[in-house]
Structure 1
Amino acid sequence: MSAIPQYAVDLPEGHPVKVYLEENALIRTLLKQIIEIDISNDFETFFNVFNQLATVEKRFARKENQLFPYLEKHGWTGPSQGMWAFHDKIREHFKSIRECITNKDYFHIEAIIYDIADDLQGLMHIEVIRLFPNALELLSEDEWKEMRSGDEEIGWMLSEDPVPYPAIEAGETRREQRLPFSTKDRIRLNEGFMTGEQLNLMLQFMPVDLTYVDENDRVIFYNRGENRVFPRSAGVIGREVKFCHPPKSVDTVLQILEAFKDGSQDSAEFWINYKDRKIHIRYFAIRDYENNYKGVIEMSQDITDILNIEGQKRLLDWE
């Protein structure tokens, strides 16, 4: 099968579909190489090629978090349901090989590699004959350009980043118009829009205590939840943070603030025993895009039950 099908020949360089097809060519090359390697005699080469092939996870992540959501907006939900499950099947193959490597069980690796090769070849075939041509029919040029900016956050399998793809002018306006909900009276966040009620509810139900102290060392926010580790009341808003801690802790708090302000530190963490529970306390410096200090987030979490976790829990057991 040609690496670049006819429907994609005239696509501009850097277009998301063209990048996927370039990755297809790389995957085929890597599969050919890894199948020909004698693992027992040249494990290092196998390991290097395997790790490169495993970056297919970036490709899966782009499809699941970028391409599929755009297709869903146009009513095509099949890829999100069927192809995602196929991604997970291939992920399990990679996991099995890593377990074999850990256990130095090279005997079973070869069979799993052939399973990966068969599944990836089948997946790429479906992409080329159905997923990509249909996506090109459904999505607008502006949507592809929007998608590219999100693709950059996840990354590619390629050794070098694809050439830049044109950015949208006034992209946010067009993007907002295509959302399945109104953005009126919603707060514009870095990614997404929420009402004030939704934002408050999200913060309220987070299983952590959050307190925001601004650049003037005054408390401007805390989340109000029923299961807070440390009690807070509305009277704390506007209060200097040094008066919000017991005297024995004030010097430590002021030391953290000073280090955050002069840029020598960005975080600090502690863990204490409190009412027979283990509490993890962390401080994070908040800075704007120009690296100006804008305050500190204090986050406290009861990690007692987390510390007792062992093994895995992959099934829902509400009963």
Structure 2
Amino acid sequence: MASERIEALKDILLDLHHGASPESVQARFEEHFTGVSALEISLMEQELISASTGITFEDVMQLCDVHANLFKNAVQGVEVADADQPGHPVRVFRDENLALRAALLRIRRLLKRLAEAEPEDAEQIRSGLKRQMTLLGQFERHYERKENLFFPVMERYGHTAPPKVMWGVDDHIRELFKTANRAVDDLTDETLEQVAAAFEAFATEFESMIFKEESILLMLLLEALTQDDWLQIASESDAYGYAIIIPHEKWEPVRASFEAPASPASEVKLSGESDSRVIDLPHGQVTVTYTPKEGPKSEQQSVDRATIQPFGRGHLSVEQADLILNHLPLEITFVNKDDIFQYYNDSVPVDDMIFKRTPSQLGRHVELCHPPKLLPKVKAIFTALRNGERDKFEMWFKSESRAKFVHVTYAAVRNQAGDFEGVLEYVQDIQPFFDLGSDFHRDLEKPEEK
């Protein structure tokens, strides 16, 4: 199907290039491209430009408005599934893969041009190659969303093996990219062959992962996840960012409300406490009967967040305790004694977090929250804390990309009887302490009093 579409697009482009009118190719375009994303058409154009077809980048640019009008006409009246709608996590994921494949094609073309370039053109090509590698490096955001948003939901539905395997391969691909990127940074005429080999080693595994994502991962997700799952993923996706493609539309599926009061004409009361409502849908009506279920009083009573009650060495309300935890200059994570990720605080916006946390990760087993290569260390830390061999572990590292000096502590949480209740992780950027400008400072003093 893909090869047929490319041939059809090539014919349309060449016909338009040679003077055919948009109206004359309209029917052929609708036949082959109704419902196909503009990004996929763009990728096909890129492949045609790279091949010996006679179609140039300038040709495509000149025909841009024609393509847009043809595509607009093609999608009118087409009923699009949720996963194909702009802003849906699956649509965004697929669009990213198309854009990343396009970046691979551009890099391959630049490497080929560099091998044939005259000395006076080589530097400009090298500069373009580095820019494209930087763009391609955004695949990290694509992987982070997959690992931190897709994987937790899969695990809730019992699919724990595919995430573990895929995360391990992701990390291997990351290492291959680092090797290729370093080779590009150090590129000389003598090392061009090694650079091309390093890039192809990465690209082969990377394209294989795209195939696995499209043919296995997304198919499994579309079968297992509910619309509410996708809405939660969509709402948390901004925290991890996007690869090349930034969605500008928010996905808002059509949903029937079962809570809104029905109009008098459609409401029918039944006996007892039951209630029947008629809901109008685009192609008909559906009648829903609802009977409230009474549970124990303890289940119906919500927690009183405002009442002051004994708390540690004093008295706090739940609301005050929550505010205090969220105002600490630390990122706090609590994993309970059953190794379940149970809590994290909101001390900073998610975009500013050192270790990003989102609601989808809550309830996840701690071993599933980390890349497979780190599991031996994670297990060793938790075993030592659980058994009382250690009360805490500390580590620190410099994050040059974010200008932070990160300090991490894993501390055992024990009750008054000394029983292990879980692990508290607290993370802080201590770079500001290194940047203090003096040995003495009181913030209340006036400048002339210091």
Q: TM-score range by the shorter chain?
A: 0.5 to 0.7
Q: Taking CA–CA contacts closer than 8 Å with sequence separation of 6 or more, which of the two structures ends up with the larger relative contact order? A: 1
Q: Partner residue of 2:204?
A: 118
Does structure 1 conserve the Cα–Cα contact (< 8 Å) formed by 2:103 and 2:136? yes
Q: Partner residue of 1:45?
A: 128
Q: Partner residue of 1:270?
A: none
Q: Gaps spanning 5+ residues in structure 1: where?
A: 170-182, 209-224, 227-248, 260-319
In structure 1, what residue type is equivalent to 2:96? Answer: E
Aligned mates of 2:159, 2:93 — CA distance in 1: 19
Does structure 2 conserve the Cα–Cα contact (< 8 Å) formed by 1:19 and 1:162? no
In structure 2, what residue type is equivalent to 1:139? Answer: L
Aligned mates of 2:167, 2:233 — CA distance in 1: 18
Q: Partner residue of 2:106?
A: 33
C-alpha RMSD of matched pairs (Å): 4.3
In structure 2, what residue type is equivalent to 1:53? Answer: L
Tell me by how many angstroms 1:156 deviates. Answer: 0.5
In structure 2, what residue type is equivalent to 1:66? Answer: L
Give 3-state SS (helix, strand or coil) of 1:99's partner. Answer: helix
Q: Do residues 20 (structure 1) and 106 (structure 2) align?
A: no
Aligned mates of 1:10, 1:158 — CA distance in 2: 24
Q: TM-score, normalised by structure 1?
A: 0.53
Tell me by how many angstroms 1:148 deviates. Answer: 1.3
Q: Do residues 10 (structure 1) and 94 (structure 2) align?
A: no
Aligned mates of 1:102, 1:195 — CA distance in 2: 41
Does structure 1 conserve the Cα–Cα contact (< 8 Å) formed by 2:135 and 2:244? no
Does structure 1 conserve the Cα–Cα contact (< 8 Å) formed by 2:142 and 2:242? yes
Q: Partner residue of 2:220?
A: 134
Does structure 2 conserve the Cα–Cα contact (< 8 Å) formed by 1:39 and 1:46? no
Q: Displaced runs of 4+ in structure 1, greater than 2 A? A: 1-5, 38-41, 101-107, 158-162, 165-169, 183-199, 204-208, 253-256
Q: How does 1:153-192 map to 2 (within 5 A)?
A: 153-166=239-252
In structure 1, what residue type is equivalent to 2:88? Answer: H
Aligned mates of 2:107, 2:210 — CA distance in 1: 18
Give 3-state SS (helix, strand or coil) of 1:165's partner. Answer: coil
Q: Partner residue of 1:252?
A: 441
Aligned mates of 1:195, 1:43 — CA distance in 2: 48
Does structure 2 conserve the Cα–Cα contact (< 8 Å) formed by 1:24 and 1:124? yes
Q: Gaps spanning 5+ residues in structure 2: where?
A: 3-35, 41-78, 116-121, 258-301, 306-317, 344-384, 386-390, 396-410, 413-437
* Inter-CA distance 127–65: structure 2 relative to 1 (3 Å threshold): same
Aligned mates of 1:250, 1:33 — CA distance in 2: 54
Number of paired residues? 203
Give 3-state SS (helix, strand or coil) of 2:86's partner. Answer: coil
Aligned mates of 2:207, 2:334 — CA distance in 1: 41
Q: Partner residue of 1:265?
A: none
In structure 1, what residue type is equivalent to 2:216? Answer: R
In structure 2, what residue type is equivalent to 1:10? Answer: A
Tell me by how many angstroms 1:93 deviates. Answer: 1.3
Which one has the largest radius of gyration?
A: 2
Tell me by how many angstroms 1:20 deviates. Answer: 0.6
Does structure 2 conserve the Cα–Cα contact (< 8 Å) formed by 1:100 and 1:109? yes
Q: Partner residue of 2:162?
A: 79
* Inter-CA distance 84–250: structure 2 relative to 1 (3 Å threshold): closer
Aligned mates of 1:195, 1:93 — CA distance in 2: 33
Give 3-state SS (helix, strand or coil) of 2:244's partner. Answer: coil
Does structure 2 conserve the Cα–Cα contact (< 8 Å) formed by 1:59 and 1:157? yes
In structure 2, what residue type is equivalent to 1:14? Answer: G
Does structure 1 conserve the Cα–Cα contact (< 8 Å) formed by 2:176 and 2:201? yes
Q: How does 1:198-209 map to 2 (within 5 A)?
A: 205=392
Deviations along 1:225-252, one digit per CA (max 9) or x if unpaired, are: 99xxxxxxxxxxxxxxxxxxxxxx9971
* Inter-CA distance 39–253: structure 2 relative to 1 (3 Å threshold): farther
Deviations along 1:231-277, one digit per CA (max 9) or x if unpaired, are: xxxxxxxxxxxxxxxxxx99713358x89xxxxxxxxxxxxxxxxxx
Does structure 2 conserve the Cα–Cα contact (< 8 Å) formed by 1:13 and 1:163? yes
Does structure 2 conserve the Cα–Cα contact (< 8 Å) formed by 1:74 and 1:138? yes
Q: Partner residue of 2:143?
A: 60
* Inter-CA distance 250–112: structure 2 relative to 1 (3 Å threshold): closer
Give 3-state SS (helix, strand or coil) of 2:87's partner. Answer: coil
* Inter-CA distance 111–196: structure 2 relative to 1 (3 Å threshold): closer
Does structure 2 conserve the Cα–Cα contact (< 8 Å) formed by 1:23 and 1:157? yes
Tell me by how many angstroms 1:165 deviates. Answer: 2.5
Q: How does 1:103-114 map to 2 (within 5 A)?
A: 103-104=186-187, 106-107=191-192, 108-114=194-200
In structure 2, what residue type is equivalent to 1:19? Answer: V
Percent same amino acid among aligned pairs? 24
In structure 1, what residue type is equivalent to 2:139? Answer: V
Tell me by how many angstroms 1:50 deviates. Answer: 1.0
Tell me by how many angstroms 1:102 deviates. Answer: 4.1
Give 3-state SS (helix, strand or coil) of 1:252's partner. Answer: coil
Q: Partner residue of 1:70?
A: 153
In structure 2, what residue type is equivalent to 1:86? Answer: V
Deviations along 1:51-88, one digit per CA (max 9) or x if unpaired, are: 11110000010011110011011110123211111111
Deviations along 1:105-149, one digit per CA (max 9) or x if unpaired, are: 542110122122211221111111111011011111111111112
* Inter-CA distance 162–76: structure 2 relative to 1 (3 Å threshold): farther
Give 3-state SS (helix, strand or coil) of 2:223's partner. Answer: helix
Give 3-state SS (helix, strand or coil) of 2:442's partner. Answer: helix
